[in-house]
Structure 1
Amino acid sequence: ADWKKEKVAELEELTNKNEIIGIVNLADIPAPQLQAMRRSLSGNAILKMSRKNFIRIALGNSNKNIEGLADYLEGQPAMVFTEMNPFKLFKILEDSKTEAPAKAGAIAPADIVVPAGDTSFPPGPILGELQQAGIPAKIDKGSIVVQEDATVVKEGEPVPKNVADVLTKLEIHPMEVGMDLLAVWEGDTIYTADVLKIDEEETLQTVITAYQNAINLSVNAGIINSESAPLLIQKAARDAMNLAVNANILTSETTDKILSKAYAQMLAVASLLSSDALDDDLSEKLNSVPAQTASEDNTEEPEEEEAEEEEEESAEESAAMGLGALFG
C-alpha cells in the first residue's frame, strides 16, 4: 500500500538527515504523559511512532550503517531523531518520567517497600487487606498503623493484584511512566541504555580526580603545558626562595626572611644559656618566644593551603565545565 511506503520513506529520510538516531519504548504510557513528553522534546528532537517492520525496513534502506538498532525494537517502539548528545537525550527522557501507580502483573523496577507509620485509615476491612498483602499492620489509637517497613514486592517480580490495590489506596506509586531510551546510534556506534545511564556526581568526581592527577604528574615531571605552566612557575619561585634563604643569599626578597631566621637562631642559642648569662632585654625576648614561634609557624602554611585550595577549585571548575558540555 502507498501509505506504508510513505511511512517507510519518511523514516528513511529522517534517518539519513539526522546524526543521532534513537529507539525508544512507549509501552504503557498514557496519552497525557506522552503529550507532555513530546513537548519536553519540542525543538530538540523529532519523535516518530511506527510499526516494527517499518522501522526495520527504514534502517536497512538508510545510507548509514545503522541496521544494528533493529535489535532494540521492544514494546511499542518509536524513533527519535536529534542532533543532541546521546547522554543529554537520555537525561532529558529520564527527567521527563513521572510516578505512576502499580498495575497487577507489572514488573517491579526496584524493591517496593511500604514504610512504617500511620496510614490515616480508621479501623475497617483495609486492615485485613494490608495483612493479606504481607504488611504488618495493627490498630493503634483509633487508626491503622504499619508496624515496620515491609518489602511487598522484590525487584524484577510481578506485582500481585491485591498488592497493587493496597499500594494505590496507600498512595504509593512505585512505577515510572516515560519513554525508555533503549539504544542510540551516533557515528557508527550504538550506545545502549546501560552505557548512557551514568551517575553524574560520580562521573564529575572521577573527572576532577583524573584532572588533578594529571596536573600533579605534569608539575612533578616538569611537563609544561597551558595548565601546568603557572604552577611550575610558582613552584620554581618557591624553590628559588627556599634555596636563597637557606644559602643566606641576600636579595630584596630574602633579606627579611634571612634576618628573621638569624633572629630565631640567636634566640635558640640564648635559650641554651643559664639565666645568669642573659641580660634583661634578652630574657624578655626569650619569654615571648612561644607566642612568636606560633605566629611564625602559621605564616607560611596558610599561603600553601590557599594555593592548594585554589588549584583544587580551578581543577573542579574546569572539570565541571567539561561535564556540563557533555550533559547540557
Structure 2
Amino acid sequence: MAETRGAEAIPQWKMDEVAELKDLVKNYNIFGVVSFESISADQLQKMRRNLRESAVLKVTRNTLNEKALKESDGSVPDMVQYIEGQTALIFTNDNPFKLYKMLAQTKTPAPIKAGAVAPFDITVNKGPTSFPPGPMLSEFQGAGIPTAVEGGKIAIKETKVVCKAGEKVSQKLANALSKLEIFPMEVGLILRAVYEDGTVYLPEVLHVDETEMFNKFVTAAQEAFNLSVNAAIVNKDNIEVLIQKAHTEAVNLGVEAVVFEPEVMDKLIGKANAQATSVAKASKYEL
C-alpha cells in the first residue's frame, strides 16, 4: 500500500526501493558511493555481472538513495554528501581497500568526446594506418595530424602531441582519434567514498601502489637482515652468514697475527711471497 505524504501518495515501488537499500546497508559490512558517469547501459550491466560474486551494485534515483541513508542508523547519513550526478551504491563484505582495487579494475579505455578536457598530453605516433587515401586524409590533416600517402595507405608522418593536458578536444580531433582507435579516457565505476563501521574512507586513502609497497617491504627486510648481521643478533635467518663472517674474520686475524694454523698457512705463504717480491723490487733484486 502506498504511503501518503500530505496530498501526495508515495508510490509503492519507491517505498520498496528505500526498504531494500536500508536492508542492504544493514546486512553488508561496508558500502560505497560510486559514480557511473559516461558509462553506457551495456557497460554498466557487464560491470554488474563481473561484480556479482563479490558485491551488489544498486542503481536507483538519488532521492531514494538519500532517503535510505538518512533513515539508516548511526553515522550512515554522513554519506549523503557524496551523492550527486549519476550515482550508484555498492555493497560488499570485503574490506574498503579490496573494494577500491576491485572497482579500479572495472576501468576500460574509451574514446574522448568533443569538448572534453584532455586528462594528459594526447599523442599520435608516427607510422602507417589501415586507411586508403581519400576523405580521411583531409580529415586527419584538419585535426592537426600530419599525414601523407605511403604504399597506398595513409601514414602518420611524425609523432605529435595533438592536444595538451587540460586543453579541450575539438570535434574534428575527437573523430580522428576515435578512427585511429586512440582512447585517452577511462570509464568505470569511480569510488567517491566507502563507509565501514562508522568510518568514511575516501579514495586517496584507499589507493595503494602495490609495486611500491612490495619494494618497500623488500628494502626493509634487506636492511633488517644487514642490521642483524652487523649487530651479531643471532636468528635462524642469519646464522649461516654470521658463521661465515666469523670464520672470515678469524682467518684474517690469524694472518695478521701470524698464527700457524692449517687454514691460515696458504694465506701466510701468499702474504710472505708478496712482501718478499715487494722488497726485491724495492732493492732492485729479483728472487
Q: TM-score, normalised by structure 2?
A: 0.77
Counterparts of 2:13 and 2:151, CA distance in 1: 66
**Unpaired runs of at least 5, structure 1:** 275-282, 287-328
The structure-2 alpha-carbon separation of the partners of 1:111 and 1:273, relative to structure 1 and needing over 3 Å to count, comes to closer
Task: State the one-letter code of the partner of 2:157.
Answer: Q
**CA offset at residue 79 of structure 1?**
1.0
**CA offset at residue 87 of structure 1?**
2.8
User: Is 1:77 the counterpart of 2:83 in the alignment?
Assistant: no
For residue 269 of structure 2, what is the aligned residue in structure 1? 263
**CA offset at residue 271 of structure 1?**
4.0
Q: How many pairs does the alignment contain?
A: 269
Counterparts of 2:207 and 2:94, CA distance in 1: 16
User: Is 1:122 the counterpart of 2:132 in the alignment?
Assistant: yes
**CA offset at residue 242 of structure 1?**
4.5
Task: State the one-letter code of the partner of 2:121.
Answer: D
Task: State the one-letter code of the partner of 1:267.
Answer: N
Counterparts of 2:50 and 2:192, CA distance in 1: 18
Counterpart contact for 1:38–1:47, Cα < 8 Å = yes
* Range that drifts further, 196-205 or 265-274: 265-274
**CA offset at residue 141 of structure 1?**
4.7
The structure-2 alpha-carbon separation of the partners of 1:258 and 1:22, relative to structure 1 and needing over 3 Å to count, comes to same
The structure-2 alpha-carbon separation of the partners of 1:210 and 1:53, relative to structure 1 and needing over 3 Å to count, comes to farther
Task: State the one-letter code of the partner of 1:143.
Answer: K
For residue 167 of structure 1, what is the aligned residue in structure 2? 177
Counterparts of 1:176 and 1:239, CA distance in 2: 54
Task: State the one-letter code of the partner of 2:235.
Answer: A
The one of 55, 58, 61 aligned to 1:45: 55
**What is the SS of the residue equivalent to 2:236?**
helix
**What is the SS of the residue equivalent to 2:235?**
helix
For residue 190 of structure 1, what is the aligned residue in structure 2? 200
Counterpart contact for 2:225–2:238, Cα < 8 Å = no
User: Is 1:7 the counterpart of 2:13 in the alignment?
Assistant: no
Structure 1: which 4+ aligned runs deviate by more than 6 Å?
none
For residue 39 of structure 2, what is the aligned residue in structure 1? 29
User: Is 1:146 the counterpart of 2:156 in the alignment?
Assistant: yes
Counterparts of 2:203 and 2:159, CA distance in 1: 31
Q: TM-score, normalised by structure 1?
A: 0.69
Counterparts of 1:243 and 1:141, CA distance in 2: 71
**CA offset at residue 266 of structure 1?**
4.5
Counterparts of 1:248 and 1:139, CA distance in 2: 79
**What is the SS of the residue equivalent to 1:230?**
coil
Task: State the one-letter code of the partner of 2:33.
Answer: I
**CA offset at residue 19 of structure 1?**
2.0
Superposition RMSD on alpha carbons, in Å? 3.2
**What is the SS of the residue equivalent to 2:212?**
helix
**CA offset at residue 8 of structure 1?**
1.9
Counterparts of 1:239 and 1:124, CA distance in 2: 75
**CA offset at residue 117 of structure 1?**
2.1
